[in-house]
Amino acid sequence: MVKKPPEVDWTQKVKGILKAELKRRNMTYADLVEALAKIGIEDTEVNIRNKVSRGMFTAVFFLQCLEAIDVRELRLS
């Protein structure tokens, strides 16, 4: 019998990764707004806070955030 892998809450996982990277850099959502603006992505702090809170954002937004805050390496475990 094949053992079923444990359930993963992907929404919580992706949200946690982004929040952890911001925390490592001592950055706020306001700082993220500024960093995104520097790479040409315009958004408001409220919109970003809501996206991250829900954990329901696109892979594109996730990569834009990682690029904006200069994440060059990411550990998933």
* In the chain, domain spans: 27-70
Cα angle for residues 61, 40, 29 (degrees, 5° grid): 55
pLDDT in tens, the chain (77 residues): 778 777 889 999 999 999 999 999 999 999 999 999 999 999 999 999 999 999 889 999 999 999 999 999 998 87
Dihedral (Cα; 68, 14, 16, 31), 10-degree rounding: 20
Distance CA 45, CA 75 (A): 26
Cα angle for residues 27, 33, 39 (degrees, 5° grid): 110
* pLDDT at res. 8: 86
Whether the pTM exceeds 0.85: the reply is: yes
